[in-house]
Amino acid sequence: MNAPIEFSFLIGGVFCVLIFASGVAFILKRRLGSGNANPVIDNLIARINAWWAMATLLTIAMLFGRAGAVTLFALLSFAAMREFLTLTAKSRADHYVLATAFFFVLPFQYYLVWIDWYGLYSIFIPVYAFLFLPIIAAFRGETENFLTRVSETQWGLMICVFAASHVPALLSLQIPGFEGKSILLIAFLVVVVQGSDVLQYVFGKLFGRHKIAPKLSPSKTWEGFIGGVVSASLLGACLFWMTPFAFWQAFLVSFVIAIMGFFGGLVMSAIKRDKGVKDWGHLIAGHGGFIDRLDSVVFSAPIFFHIVRYFWSTV
Amino acid sequence: MSVTQILANIAAMVIVLFARLVTAVRAVWDGVEPIRSKRVYFANHTSNGDFILIWTVLPSNMRHETRPVAAADYWLASKLRIFIGREVFNAVLIDRNPETREKDPVGQMASALDEGSSLILFPEGTRNTGDQALLPFKSGMYHLATQRPDVDIVPVWIENLNRVMPKGEFFPIPLICTVRFGEPMRLKDGEGKDDFLSRSRTALLALKDDGELV
């Protein structure tokens, strides 16, 4: 448990923001008066309360360093994949495929991240799971919807396990002058991408007029998107002191993270529409399911990982 | 508290925790409240875990007084099953074979209700492993309703558990399940067996239609 000092500053900042948010929500609720229920305010309060829980959980996990981060994201992958595969096409014949995905592929991917085997964890799911799971499916001889079933299962693994595992994989990057601080890369990514989600929500609620993709996600507006992405990029730039980046580099990296996060939300919304649901799950009050909260993270994490690896890392 | 009781309580906790870990089960109380009241819950039956799922989503004070009605031949087949069936779930064990049975199943259920328990019934009588949503109902629930007409009969639809653990598989896969409780019903004056059974079957199937995750 030896987190760098910058981590304490960041966490202090995050909790100050949460105290402020809870204060604002409290005043909004009071101004409304008791007796008048407003679903938007109630949802806002539920969301903020869930943020308290999520921020606390993340902080605790980070304090345990590498073990904490790998364990936390393995569990998040499990919860996310449980939601994803609930909605995908499957038949009774897929029992072994799904069991292999949950009980072998998922833990093995995180084991590879844990032992730092970049050469294998970056291809294990896209190559080995991709080829071998359909083989297991074929053995059962059920051909109905075969391609749909194997594709949707693979998609679930790519999104919920492969992409998500790139968050703890950030810890394996060796950056000169940044030794022992790589946990800050995770903190930076999470704060920027979740900050971008929150800021898009805030800008959208305050100024949102023009819908960006009415068919996919009625709550996303141009005003929310631009305001959120620009302010999140500035937020990331202002956090440059805890990263290996210069101010302008932190701005550009945050910009990419925020944009990818936005598109992640859009793609995952499209899947929800396709499957006819509003939320992925119900376990995070006010937010929906785990994937509703992780969609932006999983889309930005691999890109962030490769940007840092290519430009800053020595391995 | 005896050692058996302590073990039974621990086993109950482990079972509930495991059920939540695998299924993240969610209860939807749709026309009925989760309050202590003498009830007969009746549900679709696709998996051995059906009863466990209902039991898991009940508040703990209701859980202890809600007993499943289960087949004696299954639950008396091994020592572990006897322990779980008798001590953990406190099941009302009935003999499914009319020729060998000594006690009348409906009488057993009625006396469990009289002792203050609620019941969980699977009126299809056996696990449904086919493509049909719901098998025809056996008549036991009707006879119970005529003997105890003042007890609320609550339909409960269990969604997705057949995918978590299809018949013949040995381990579950984690998928989200929903347990939806519907509006209570009672036997109407002069309602015949077939009318009552088809009305209760329709009430249960109605819960399926909006059983998706919304």
**In this structure, are residues B135 and B126 in contact, taking their beta carbons and an 8 Å threshold?**
yes
Residue of A77, A95, A136, A271 best to disrupt the B interface, most CBs of B under 10 A: A95
**What's the whole-number mean pLDDT along residues B168-175?**
88
What are the helix (H) ranges across B46-188? Answer: 50-57, 60-63, 72-75, 79-82, 105-114, 140-147, 161-164
pLDDT score recorded for residue A231 = 96
Which residues of chain A make contact with B24, given a CB cutoff of 8 A? 79, 82, 281-283
CB contact under 8 A, B175 and A281: no
**Cβ atoms of residues B213 and A282 within 8 Å:** yes
| Choice among B24-33, B95-104, B152-161 with the minimum mean pLDDT | B95-104
**Beta carbons of A279 and B163 less than 8 Å apart:** no
Structure tokens at B53: 């799922």
Domain count, chain A: 1
Please report the residues numbered 25 through 54 in chain B whose beta carbons come closer than 8 angstroms to any beta carbon of chain A.
26
Q: What is the pLDDT of residues A279-296, one digit of tens each?
A: 898 888 888 899 999 999
* Domain assignment of residue A74, given as a range: 67-172
Shortest CA distance from B130: residue in chain A: A92
Distance CA B25, CA B54 (A): 9
B189 touches A: beta carbon within 8 Å: no
- Verify whether the Cβ–Cβ distance B214 to A278 is below 8 Å: yes
How near does any CA of chain B get to the CA of A124, in Å?
21
Nearest CB to A98: which of B24, B160, B173? B173
Q: Is residue A125 part of a domain?
A: yes
A276 closest CB neighbour out of B163, B171, B212: B212
Please give the tally of structural domains in chain B. Answer: 1
Nearest C-alpha in B relative to A282: B26
Q: What is the pLDDT of residues A230-276, one digit of tens each?
A: 999 999 999 999 999 999 999 999 999 999 999 999 999 999 999 88
* Strand B39-43 versus strand B118-121 pairing type: parallel
Q: How far is CA B150 from the centre of its chain?
A: 19
Is B212 part of the contact surface with chain A (CB cutoff 8 Å)? yes
- Helix, coil or strand: residue A64: coil
Q: Is residue B214 part of a domain?
A: no
Instruction: Read off the pLDDT of residues A122-141 as tens digits, 9 standing for 90 and up.
Output: 999 999 999 999 999 999 88
B214 pLDDT tier (thresholds 50, 70, 90): very low
Does the beta-carbon distance from B176 to A281 stay under 8 Å? yes
Residues in chain B with CB shorter than 8 Å from the CB of A280 are 213
CA–CA gap between residue B123 and residue B137 (Å, rounded): 5
Chain A interface includes B169 (CB < 8 A): yes
Tokens of B114: 């009289």
- Taking 70 as the threshold, does the pLDDT of residue B60 lie above it? yes
Q: How many CA atoms lie within 13 A of B71 on its CB side?
A: 14
The C-alpha atoms of residue B169 and residue B6 are separated, in whole angstroms, by 30
A135 part of a folded domain: yes
Indicate whether B212 pLDDT > 80: no
Q: How far is B158 from chain A (nearest CA, A)?
A: 14
Q: How far apart are CA A197 and CA A54, in angstroms?
A: 14
Could B171 and A99 be called an inter-chain contact, meaning their C-beta atoms sit closer than 8 Å?
yes
B211: pLDDT strictly greater than 60? no
Q: How far is B114 from chain A (nearest CA, A)?
A: 37
Is the model's pLDDT at B21 over the cut of 60?
yes
* pLDDT value at residue B210: 54
Give dist(CA B118, CA B39) in Å, integer: 5
d(CA A229, CA B71): 60
- Residue A11 in any domain: the answer is no
Segment A151-173 mean pLDDT: 96
Could you tell me how many CB contacts below 8 A there are between chain A and chain B? 41
Residues B19, B52 contacting (CB under 8 angstroms): yes
Instruction: Please check the confidence at residue A150 and state whether its pLDDT lies above 90.
Output: yes
CA B175 – CA A79 distance, rounded (Å): 9
CB B62 within 8 A of CB B36: yes
Range with the largest mean pLDDT of B59-63, B127-131, B141-145: B141-145
- Chain A residue nearest residue B212, CA to CA: A277
Q: Measured between alpha carbons, how far is B147 from B110 in angstroms, rounded to an integer? A: 7
pLDDT at A233: 97
Q: Is B109 a residue whose pLDDT tops 60?
A: yes
Per-residue pLDDT, A93: 87
Interface-testing mutation among B176, B210, B214, with chain A (most A C-beta atoms within 10 A): B176
**Residue A1 pLDDT more than 70?**
no
What pLDDT was estimated at residue A39? 83
B114 located within any domain: yes
**Cβ neighbour number for residue A308 with a 10 Å cutoff:** 22
Token digits of residue B179: 């347990």
For the record, the structure tokens of A228 come out as 């959120």
- Select the more confidently predicted residue: A190 or A39: A190
pLDDT at B213 over 60: no
Closest-CA distance of chain B to residue A91, Å:
8
Please give the Cα distance from B97 to B100 (Å, whole number): 6
H-state helical runs in A175-214:
183-207
- From chain B, pick out residues whose CB is under 8 angstroms from the CB of A87: 213
Residue A133 in domain: yes
Give the whole-number percent of chain A exceeding pLDDT 90: 75
Within a domain: A163 = yes
Q: How many CA atoms lie within 13 A of B17 on its CB side?
A: 6
Q: Which span out of A63-67, A113-117, B35-39 was modeled with the highest average pLDDT?
A: A113-117
Residue A101, both tokens: 């995905």
Nearest-neighbour CA in chain B from A276: distance (Å): 9
Rounded CA-CA distance A124/A100 in Å is 14
The strand pairing partners of A284, in sequence order, are A288
Instruction: Give the single-character DSSP code of B136.
Output: P
Average pLDDT of the residues of chain A = 92
Residue B43 falls inside a structural domain: yes
Q: Which tens digits make up the pLDDT trace of A46-55?
A: 899 999 999 9
Q: What is the pLDDT of residues A106-117, one digit of tens each?
A: 999 999 999 999
pLDDT of B179 over the 60 cut: yes
Which domain, by its residues, includes B202?
3-209
Average confidence (pLDDT) over A171-198? 93
